Chains A and B, each alone.
Chain A
C-alpha cells in the first residue's frame, strides 16, 4: 500500500463500519418514518412546518415509550414542490431509508405522483396539507389525508361570493399548479351550479415565484370585476393583494387555505393591504382545545405552530396509533385499521371514509382585520 492511498482506505473502512453499525441499530430499535415536503425552495416554510410538527410528535411519542417499545426515527425527504423530485424522494425513502410509513407531501402536484410510488410498495402515507380531490380519488388504498378537499372549500367560497357578497363581476386567478388551479376550478364549477358562471369576467393563471403582478392587476381593473378569487399560496397572494390595493382597486378578495397564514401579512408588506380579505380554510388548529398543550410546548421552544404544523403532528400521531393497535407496519393493515377506527389526535378525534378522506367536512370562512389577525365568520 502506497502512502497517499492509506488514509483514504482507512477513511473508507471507518465509514463502512459506521454505516453498518447504524444499520444494525436502525433494524433493532427504531421505526423509520419519512417526512416529505418542500424543505428547500420557495415553499420551504411549509416544509419547515411539517418537520417541526412531526419532530415534536415523534419526541412526545418516544417519551411515552414509542411504538410498541420501538422509537420513531424521522427521515427527511425534500421535494421542493417539484413533481419529478417528489417521485425521486419517494423512491429514496422506500429503497434506501426503508421507511415504514410517510407523512407528506405538501403540494398536491407532488403528493399525487409520490403517493403512486408509496401505494405500489404498500406503504401508508398521510398528507397533512394536500387538498386536491385527485389525491384520494384514484382508488389507492394506503393514501390518506389529514385535511379537507378543494371540492369542499371551493364551493364554500362560491356560495359566499354569490349569496353574501352578491358579486356582479368575478375575476378568477390561479397559480397554474394542481392545488391552485384545482381549487379555482372547484369554485367556478359551483358558480355554474348556481347559474352564476356568466359573472366570471376573467380567468387567468399567474407564475409562481414572481412578485410583479401589476399587469394582471391592471387587466382586472379593466375587466371591471368587483370580486377577485385567487387559487394559490400566500407567497403570491400577498403581493397580488398589495398590488390590487396600490392600484386603487377596492374589490373583494377571496382565497383558499394556502393563503391563510400569518406570513401573508409580511408577504403583502403590511396589514393595511390584507385587511378585509376573505379566506376559506380548515379549523384553526391552534385554537382547538385538544391542541393547547402541544401549542404551548412548541411556542415555549420558540416555534409558533401555525399553518400545517399541527396537521403534520396529527398525521404522525395517527400513523403511530395505527401501528400500536395493529402491531404491524404493513400499509394495507394500517389503512384498514384507520378506515374503521377513530384516532384521538392533537386536532381532536379523526376518522376516515373508504377513500381516505376525513369524515368531518369542516371548512369555514375567515376574514383579516386591520391588525393582521384573522377570525372566523359565523356561518348561517
Chain B
C-alpha cells in the first residue's frame, strides 16, 4: 500500500477516534462516580447537534458575519444548553432512583434515551438536517494524486479532544472539585459525612459530561454537515465501547479507547474490508477484556469490606 493511503487512513482513524473519545468521557465520568451507564448520553450528543444548527442559523440571521465569533458563540451556547439537559436528566431520571437496585437507573436511562430521540423527532421532524460546509480549509501534503489531507475541522477535532481530556484530568487530579469527585467516587456515604454535598457533585459530573458531548456535537456537525435524531444511537454505542476498552471510570482510558477503536476501524476498513470493521473492533474489545477485564487503563476493583 502506498504511504499516502496509509497516512490518510491514520488521519481518518484519529479523527473518528477523537470523536469517540470525546463522547466516551461522558460515559466514563458518570460510571466512575455513580457506577451506572448513562445510556441517554449518546442522545444528549444528538441534541447538541441540533442546537448547533439552530444557534448558527439564529446568529447568521442576526447578520453576524464573523465566522470565528459565530462558531465560538455557538460552542458556548450549545455547551450551556446541553449542560442544562445533562443536569435535568440527572435530576429527573436518576436522582429519584439513587437508592434503588442497579437495574432501575439503567432502565430509566434507556427510557430517557427514547424520550430524547422521539421528542426531537416530533419537534424537529424525522428528516435529516444539516448545516452548510462552513470551513472548507484543508491542509494537503504531497503532490498530484498522491497526497494526504487533513481538513481544518478534523485538526480541530483532534486538538480539542486531546486538550479537553488533559483539562479534565487536571480538574479531577488537582482541584478541590476534583478531590470531592474522587471522594464521592470512593465512598459516597463517607464523603457525605465529611461534608461533601454528593448530590451536587454528581450533578456537576453530569453537567461536565454533557458539555463534552456538546463540544463533540458542534465539531461533528461542522465536520459531517448532517445529522438526524438517530445519530446518538450508533455513536453512543461506539463511544461506550471506547470507554469500556480504555477502562471505564478512567479519563485517559476513554481517550485511549476512542483512539484505538477509531484507528482499528479505519485501518481494518482500509486494509481488509469495510463490511467487517465492526466485527473486528468488537473482537478487539473482547480480546482486551479477556486479558484485562477492567480495560486498558482501568483499575481493578477493590472489594469493599
Contacts and interface: CB of A to CB of B under 8 A. Distances in A.
Given A42-B230, A209-B234, A215 B13 contact: yes
Interface in B1-55: 1-2, 5, 8-9, 12-13, 15-16, 19
Interface string A240-254: 001000111000000
Contacts of A210: 234
Interface in A15-48: 40-42, 44-45, 47-48
Interface string A203-226: 011110111101110110110000
Interface of B: 1-2, 5, 8-9, 12-13, 15-16, 19, 117-118, 121, 125-133, 138, 147, 149, 151, 220, 224-231, 233-234, 265-267, 269-270, 273-275, 277-278
A276 interface: no
Contacts of B273: 204
A269 B132 contact: yes
A263 to B, nearest CB: 5
A162 to B, nearest CB: 24
Given A204-B275, A218-B270, A235 B128 contact: yes
A154 B20 CA distance: 36
Given A209-B230, A216-B274, A218-B9, A45 B224 contact: no
Contacts, number: 120
B74 to A, nearest CB: 16
Interface residues of A, number: 39
A85 interface: no
A204 B225 contact: no
A339 interface: no
A206 to B, nearest CB: 6
18 contacts: A44-B229, A45-B125, A211-B231, A212-B12, A212-B15, A214-B12, A215-B9, A215-B12, A215-B16, A218-B5, A235-B128, A239-B224, A239-B225, A247-B149, A266-B127, A270-B130, A270-B132, A270-B133
B274 A242 contact: no
A268 interface: yes
A215 B5 contact: no
A239 B225 CA distance: 8
A176 interface: yes
Nearest to A209: B234
A221 B275 contact: no
A238 interface: yes
Interface string A324-353: 000000000000000000000000000000
Contact of B126 (A45, A216, A238, A247): A45
A254 B191 CA distance: 61
A239 B226 contact: yes
Given A214-B16, A270-B133, A45 B8 contact: no
